[in-house]
Structure 1
Amino acid sequence: MSTTTPRPSGKIALRDRVLRLAETITTPLLPEDYLDIVAPLRSGADLRGRIVAIDPEGPDAATVTIRPGRGWRGHVPGQYIRVGVDVDGVRQWRAYSVTSVAGRADECISITVKAIPDGVVSNHLVRRAQPGTVIQLDQAQGDFVLPDPAPAKILFLTAGSGITPVMGMLRNGAHTAADVVLLHSAPTEADVIFGAELRRLAAEGAIRLVERHTDVDGMLTVDELDDLVPDHCERQTWACGPIGLLDAVEEHWAGRGVAEQLHTERFRPTVISPGEGGTVTFSKAGVTLDADGSTAILDAGESAGVLMPSGCRMGICYGCVLPLREGAVRDLRTGDITVAVPGDGVLIQTCISAAAGACDIEL
């Protein structure tokens, strides 16, 4: 039986010839690559954003205002986004809370970044980045958000840059329908990110603000909560800050029998005590190294010169996932052990997994 293939119409044939010619001229790049240069925020491209402003927020922090591309789907106050930033020729991904009002008239969003010691991306965004820079974006995610309707009484318990998701909630009206107490810790009064804005809200009676300046007052302990916020166990609480503080807060709320009223956001994985460690083999790279039980496989591999995929480095984005061909690894956050036998190819996150004996990674 014979078949007849219909001839393309004149318009389609002409379009195909033009595209083939364009691909020939632009080789080794494709026409889409040049569109990325002249219209990086266009619909259909990978989601990107353009930095339109960088405004200081104290001595070591800045608010970065971004105009996202047409694929941006919006955010819920309290959520975070991952941003991909090229620093010295290397693309680095980090996660930051969205601190702007949802649905701004100018369609921009903002993140507020605290520069941390040795922080490659945070120091770049605070001290080196310039308006006009195009960065990579992911859609907003995270469940550190208020329910609808909001509870009648809320406690925000934050420290350092942990104020950023809460600021996003406050700017979107969290205090308008609830009795809000904010207990925030920072080294000094000048180190309080959004300090002037928070104090203005307190002066207007919109929130009750309790500041703890740790260089003067010492570190906040959960034993002080009964005095600082006597009704804290009656409030739905959103806590964000250093790991040690959150661990203590979770234990305190559980001990009072109100663990279900506590919601926490952890920016960094919890690191457990060193385990047994072991040898790590990167089979395709032909590299074998010794790693202790407290060092993430991602860090151990990079220290040995192995080119490792990575992303947020916090166990959030799954940009570092690789197959575990054989052996055992320990989750640095929970202590859970994952074991693989030959043929399993179990996927692990190398940024939050450490060797728990000999293991073979497919890379």
Structure 2
Amino acid sequence: MTWRERFEEPVRDIAARSRGTNWARAAIARITTPLLPDDYLHLANPLWSARELRGRVVSVQRETADSATIEIKPGWGFSFNYRPGQYLGIGVDVGGRWVWRSYSLTSAPERAERTQTVAITVKAMPEGFLSSHLVTGLQPGTIVRLAAPAGEFVLPEPLPASLLFLTAGSGVTPIIAMLRTVAHRRKRTAASTPTSIVLIHSAPAADDVLFAEELAGYAADGLVDVHIHHTRTHGRLDADDITRICPDWAQREAWACGPGGFLDLVSDMYQRAGAAEHLHLERFALERGATGAQGGSVTFARSGKTADVDGATTLLEAGEAAGVLMPFGCRMGICQSCVVPVESGAVRDLRTGVEHVAGERIQTCVSAAAGDCTLDV
């Protein structure tokens, strides 16, 4: 959209005999309609905002049959000084409603700063409306809203002497940013990395492996020892598989990311070995419905609004659908921005199955109704 088209947007649907008439009408509309400074910034450039971070989609590149890498050019106010492994919040206008989710950044910070773009890689989930839209329906040029990079699932500086990455499915996305950063720094210094890195990745089949060619290249260059486990052929990855591939796993600093069952396996291994302090986990996918929550009627006390929901719908989503102004941040149970008190009834944490009752404070983005309940929001 050109600057002139944006200026004439208030009278876009009004018929006029000439372009000059529309220009005059638009000028009158702009003068007589109360506008915030942000509105004038938007007229000059859709990426400029004094109130929020914005970005423009540069490209959508398919990675596998159900995943894509989305390159975004952030606007005014975005800092490229993030750490590999962190996630980015993205809001997309879908049918007149802004829908938010958070996805791991897959672009290395050094490259992002050079190109002034960032990238996320999204896997379309059967139950995920926004993820499917991002993979199959998002068009280059789309203006999106952004939340600043956040998260503690990052590598320390300097790197430990030995690393182990344990990933499954799209859990490799934060790890690829770490590997890209290590590769970039090794190339920049023209020296081999002193760190021993092992990656064990689980995926259904070869066609489902994200960044397969890139990982093979890192393995060929000696950057990382890559092991791909295909579950359709060899069954689920288990503790014996991990021990066979990497016998010294308990002595390595480990970063693990993937579905809940996979992370439970890894966590149990490190707990039993007395090495839990070496394990870093990233849980970014809710195991919805696995806990047997029954849902119920949710009352939002301050607004007086109610919503009938099932046991897989988060309280944050329920409130937004009912038109309640809900606090939120990362939308994945990490930042604590969505915490509100429970006034009555019970809610269930979708990650752990633990129920919380009246008087307790809960995270609405990872909790669902466990029967009728009332929230102080």
Structure 2 length as normaliser, TM-score?
A: 0.79
Which of 40, 55, 61 is equivalent to 1:49?
A: 55
Task: Please say if residues 23 and 29 of structure 1, whose CA atoms lie closer than 8 Å, have aligned partners that are also in contact.
Answer: no
Identity among equivalent pairs (%): 48
**1:60 matched to 2:77:** no
Residue 245 to residue 361, structure 1, CA distance change in 2 (3 Å): same
Equivalence for 1:324: 342
**1:103 matched to 2:79:** no
Task: Please say if residues 280 and 291 of structure 1, whose CA atoms lie closer than 8 Å, have aligned partners that are also in contact.
Answer: no
The structural deviation recorded for 1:296 is 4.1
User: Residues of 2 paired with 1:193 and 1:279: CA distance?
Assistant: 40
Equivalence for 1:18: none
The structural deviation recorded for 1:56 is 1.7
Q: Which amino acid aligns with 2:234?
A: D
Q: Once the two structures are superposed, what CA deviation does each residue of 1:201-247 show, in whole Å capped at 9, x if it has no partner?
A: 11222211101111122111122222121111121110001100001
Equivalence for 2:129: 120
Q: What root-mean-square deviation, in Å, do the aligned CA atoms of Structure 1 and Structure 2 show?
A: 3.0
Secondary structure at the residue paired with 1:103? helix
Alignment of 1:1-363 (within 5 A): 25-42=31-48, 44-73=50-79, 74-104=81-111, 105-173=114-182, 176-269=193-286, 273-274=291-292, 280-283=298-301, 284-285=303-304, 287=306, 296-298=314-316, 306-308=322-324, 309=326, 313-316=331-334, 321-340=339-358, 348-355=362-369, 359-362=373-376
Task: Please say if residues 184 and 211 of structure 1, whose CA atoms lie closer than 8 Å, have aligned partners that are also in contact.
Answer: yes
User: Residues of 2 paired with 1:354 and 1:216: CA distance?
Assistant: 36
Task: Please say if residues 61 and 115 of structure 1, whose CA atoms lie closer than 8 Å, have aligned partners that are also in contact.
Answer: yes
Q: Of Structure 1 and Structure 2, which has the larger fraction of its residues in helix?
A: 2
Task: Please say if residues 285 and 306 of structure 1, whose CA atoms lie closer than 8 Å, have aligned partners that are also in contact.
Answer: no
Task: Please say if residues 345 and 357 of structure 2, whose CA atoms lie closer than 8 Å, have aligned partners that are also in contact.
Answer: yes
The structural deviation recorded for 1:179 is 0.7
Task: Please say if residues 102 and 331 of structure 2, whose CA atoms lie closer than 8 Å, have aligned partners that are also in contact.
Answer: no
Structure 2 gap ranges (5+): 1-26, 187-192
Task: Please say if residues 78 and 98 of structure 1, whose CA atoms lie closer than 8 Å, have aligned partners that are also in contact.
Answer: yes
User: Residues of 2 paired with 1:148 and 1:286: CA distance?
Assistant: 48
Structure 1 gap ranges (5+): 1-20
Select the structure of larger CA radius of gyration.
Answer: 1
Secondary structure at the residue paired with 1:205? coil
Task: Please say if residues 23 and 30 of structure 1, whose CA atoms lie closer than 8 Å, have aligned partners that are also in contact.
Answer: no
* Count of matched residue positions in the alignment of Structure 1 and Structure 2: 336
